[in-house]
Amino acid sequence: MPRKPRFNLIGMPQHVIQRGNNREPCFYEEEDYLRYLEDLYQSAEKFKCRIHTYVLMTNHAHSWITI
């Protein structure tokens, strides 16, 4: 069953979770973590978002982002 669309309020932070497929790892080496962060910050700059905090774990990532 698909998730319901996210309700967006401009200026309100959101907890965003990205998970690996079937709980598989997203990150295997240190370079994977660094690439993810680089892409995250480039996307935030492009879409004018603020990243307040993040946690990268082997099979998922959490971030607190304001649009």
User: What pLDDT digit, counting tens, does each position of 11-65 carry?
Assistant: 999 999 999 999 899 999 999 999 999 999 999 999 999 999 999 999 999 999 9
Q: Are 57 and 24 a contacting pair, CB within 8 Å?
A: no
Residue 43 within a domain: yes
pTM of the model: 0.84
Residue 1 within a domain: no
Q: What's the domain range around 34? A: 13-66
Which H or E run contains 67?
A: none
Nearest Cα neighbor of 44 from 6, 4, 5, 16 is 16
* Distance between CA atoms of residues 11 and 50, nearest Å: 9
Residue 61 within a domain: yes
Residue 26 within a domain: yes
Q: Are 2 and 54 a contacting pair, CB within 8 Å?
A: no
Residue 7 within a domain: no
